[in-house]
Structure 1
Amino acid sequence: MRSWMKTTAGLMLAATLVLTGCGSKPAQEGAAGDKPAAEKPSGSKKAEGFKVGMVTDIGGVNDKSFNQSAWEGLKKVEADTGASVKYLQSKSDADFIPNLNQYIKDKYNLTWGIGFLMGDAIKTVATQNPDAKLAIIDNVVEAPNVESVTFAEHEGAYLVGVVAGLTTKTNNIGFVGGLDIPVIKRFEAGFREGVKAVNPNAKLTINYTGAFDKPDLGKAAAATIYNDGADIVFHAAGATGNGVFNEAKDRVKSGKKVWVIGVDKDQSLEFGDDVTLTSMIKRVDQAVIRVTTDLIDGKFQGGKVVTLGLKDDGVGLPETSTKNVPADVLKKVDEYKAKIISGEIKVPEK
């Protein structure tokens, strides 16, 4: 299950998590020339002629977090190996199967489904096309031609909960989620337990928006929580979370100091250090790179499930946390991280 993780720990530790921003129009296909930018392959490379397709969930490839990180991973594969990579965006779950089947029809070597919501569609397409190879992030699909990658989000979220609990000035903290699904509940549970461990008197307000692609809902949810006295909000809401940052920026401009804890990527690079306290990063890009490269090298692990947690450096805090998180707080984070890795602390998933 973790056969490749130990050998790649060094790679993950050193990995650059954020490349450049991407942009695309909804429901369009992305190809080699699309942003986020990456150097085009030059010369003869081992995977020239190899084709990899990616289908986003409804958050879209330009969500500045989850889908974007996966696409950046594929762009890195393209630059390093010469493989051809493309994506298709899904406007709704009705697009999942047609988009996946487009790559199957075009005989792509590997087809990615990004996100928990893609689970049923991946299962259906994999069953109907047993010779095709597929992979999914954030869900487990039991099929011999599908490799599944999940993350221990609750472990990383616990650590940013420690940051929030030790940093809040108002003892009032918020969490904004997207859809109420298991992967987001893991974020919520870990964050709740981290806050509680260091600041049991802190109030935690939970708000699920019901969407991953509605920044306006994220902004409204954050406004409600900040109005109630919170000074820190952690989001796990994809592109909806962009609205949380927008609300925080509006308040900072008006002289009210509030913070956002980002998700999936180091979101300070997108939204700035003035509002980003830290981020709970998920190395989706590295998971995509590893599975895709394994297939190129003839080592595809169909039927396997890989779970990345703190001990695998699959989740955690970015190095930029030192800009806004005090050194003594980061020291506490390291202490709790060690306890989670050793098993002394078992973080609940819900």
Structure 2
Amino acid sequence: MRRVKSCLLTAVFAAALGTASAVAEPAIVYSVGGKFDGSFNESAYSGVTRYQEETGVMVREFALERDSQSLQALRNLARRGSAPIVAIGFNQANALSQVAPDFPETNFVIVDMVVDQPNVRSYVFKEHEGAYIGGLLAALASKSGTIGFVGGMDIPIIRRFLCGYKQGALAADPDTRVLFNMAGDTPAAFTDPLRGGELAISQIRRGADVIIQAAGGTGIGVLQAAADAGVLGMGTDSNQNGLHPGKVLTSIRKRVDNAVHDSFLTAENGSFEPGIQVLGLKEGGMDWVLDDNNRDLVTPQMQAAADAAVAGIADGTVKVHDVVTDGTCPF
């Protein structure tokens, strides 16, 4: 009888552990700028919201006020048993590289950077592919023949975006002039709307009549300056068409929402796997937005050209230069 009771207690204890594991609380750590930054973080938040609405499972959220908080935030979430833990932004890579080995049984995710650890899934995007479509549309919409680009921090990801934008513009019109500026060389370059507005105004004064922002929160200032000056802005990361209806040509979305949603869903259904996920136009990681806010700005000819370019990139007939793997931008 004692042996039977012991076996029953063991079974109950094992079942309790299984239940605890099954209901492990998923968590996300947003990058600096807040989850309502209108850009990268907000796209991630959209993925969180979609997952919660579909499953009824709540996600613990933490927004960094400064990059130095990342290490403690990730470690504290791991200690309390959260899983998976999603880190948003390249600036959390160093912290995650330190935390992941200390919690080998915990699944982690990073979006927009690679962390090579056996319990980390890394999502990276083919930004240059989406940027190509942005450049194509900008050149087709421009009346001055001059378009602009305002980037955030001067890093390879943003340079990759710039090169794709240039290539797309020149594919539409080889005479297009592309002006570009970077907002800075630290992560703060993604959180300074005033600086974004100043750079946009400078480009407008030099003739740019379509300006894309690839600058996170800084880009909100770019779009505002463009709208105020009566030229067209172009959004990135999330759908920013509605920020200035009729004045944002389109938004080149980096589907951070899909990466976040996929992370939580695969963890819940037991199919989560570490490794690198590379998402471009073909994989649904990049796209461009046509909705009621910008429909009148995009002619049927422009839409057809963009759709043809998307198809060509997806099937490989259009090759977009990637400065990260292919070297210096030739455009």
TM-score w.r.t. length of structure 1: 0.82
Q: Which residue does 1:284 correspond to in 2? A: 256
* CA deviation after TM superposition for structure 1 residue 337, in Å: 1.6
User: 1:3-39 CA distances to partner (integer Å, 9 max, x unpaired)?
Assistant: xxxxxxxxxxxxxxxxxxxxxxxxxxxxxxxxxxxxx
Q: Which runs of 5+ in 2 are unaligned?
A: 1-20, 324-331
d(CA) in 1 for partners of 2:97, 2:131: 29
Q: Is the 8 A contact 2:153 2:182 kept in 1?
A: yes
Q: Which residue does 2:286 correspond to in 1? A: 315
Q: Which residue does 1:150 correspond to in 2? A: 124
Pair member with larger Rg: 2
User: 1:211-267 CA distances to partner (integer Å, 9 max, x unpaired)?
Assistant: 11111111111111111111010011111100012212322xxxxx30001001111
Q: Which runs of 5+ in 1 are unaligned?
A: 1-46, 252-256
Q: Which of 214, 224, 237 is the matching residue for 1:236?
A: 214
Matches within 5 A, 1:301-312: 301-302=273-274, 304-312=275-283
* CA deviation after TM superposition for structure 1 residue 273, in Å: 2.1
* CA deviation after TM superposition for structure 1 residue 49, in Å: 3.8
Q: Which residue does 1:68 correspond to in 2? A: 42
Q: Which residue does 2:7 correspond to in 1? A: none
Q: Which of 306, 309, 312 is the matching residue for 1:333?
A: 306
Would you identify which runs of 4 or more consecutive aligned residues in structure 1 move more than 6 Å? none
* CA deviation after TM superposition for structure 1 residue 190, in Å: 0.8
Pairs aligned (count): 297
Q: Which residue does 1:15 correspond to in 2? A: none
Q: Is the 8 A contact 1:277 1:324 kept in 2?
A: yes
Q: Which residue does 2:174 correspond to in 1? A: 200
SS in 1 for 2:32: coil
Letter in 1 for 2:280: G
d(CA) in 2 for partners of 1:323, 1:180: 34
Q: Is the 8 A contact 2:227 2:233 kept in 1?
A: no
SS in 2 for 1:245: helix
Q: Give yes or no for the alignment of 1:272 onto 2:250.
A: no
SS in 1 for 2:45: helix
* CA deviation after TM superposition for structure 1 residue 182, in Å: 2.1
d(CA) in 2 for partners of 1:348, 1:166: 20
SS in 1 for 2:220: helix
Q: Is the 8 A contact 1:161 1:191 kept in 2?
A: yes
Percent of residue pairs identical: 35
Q: Give yes or no for the alignment of 1:122 onto 2:71.
A: no
Q: Give yes or no for the alignment of 1:167 onto 2:145.
A: no
TM-score w.r.t. length of structure 2: 0.86
d(CA) in 2 for partners of 1:155, 1:68: 21
